[in-house]
Amino acid sequence: MISRVFNFMKQSKPIELNNKLFIDLLSSSSSAKPKALHDVFINHRGSDTKRNIATLLYDNLKSRNLRPFLDSKNMKPGDKLFDHINRAILTSKVAVTVFSPNYCDSYFCLHELALIMESKKRVIPIFCDVKPSQLDVMIERVTCSDDEIQRFRWALQEAKDIVGLTFDSYKGNLSEVVTVASDVIVERLVELEAEDGNV
């Protein structure tokens, strides 16, 4: 069974978000390490993948007694969007990024990806109907600053350099890619538990 211990404090420096220091996510005055709230964070473009791969992956992980985070399943009306998502990312053990044709058009997707990469999560990319070489920041400069665009480009390049799974909705078997992705996630979680046990 995967332990519920998360070594959040291994990061060597605080994460900066939009020129604000993201200090003490859990508002704890103690120096105790916060525990993981989720085993896996699912980063995806809702309009492309929420009704298929993202939800199926969430359901598959839940059936394995894991604690995945998917915005449409874990958030409730009244939740503060960025606070809730940032906390979920930073208190997850691993992240899955589901890249899709419209992924790079979304400020939210790119913000999540940047935070995932900055916090040095183990990332499992799934390239759904898109090749890594086709991914580039597509949001307008009016939407965000040059610094944010650079941050997003850096995160995207980091993610593109990670070996991932591919899925072509015209030829592929969705059930198969969800099962394989779930197996890989479990393997990564077991590796993390072993590493934590050796510290």
CA 97/CA 100 separation, integer angstroms: 9
Does residue 129 come out as left (phi exceeding 0), alpha (psi in the -120 to 50 range) or beta? left
Question: Do residues 156 and 111 lie in contact, with contact meaning Cβ atoms separated by under 8 Å?
Answer: no
112 as an active site residue: the answer is yes
- The rounded distance, in Å, linking the Cα atoms of 8 and 24 is 11
Determine the residue type at 2.
Answer: I
Q: Is 57 helix (H, G, I), strand (E, B) or coil?
A: helix
Give the pairing type, strands 20-22 and 15-17. antiparallel
Task: Choose, from 112, 148, 158, 187, the residue flagged as catalytic.
Answer: 112
Angstrom distance (rounded) from CA 27 to CA 160:
34
- What is the number of other CB atoms lying within 10 angstroms of the CB of residue 45? 20
H or E element at residue 68: strand 68-69
Q: How many CB atoms lie within 10 A of CB 110?
A: 24
- What is the set of active-site residues? 112
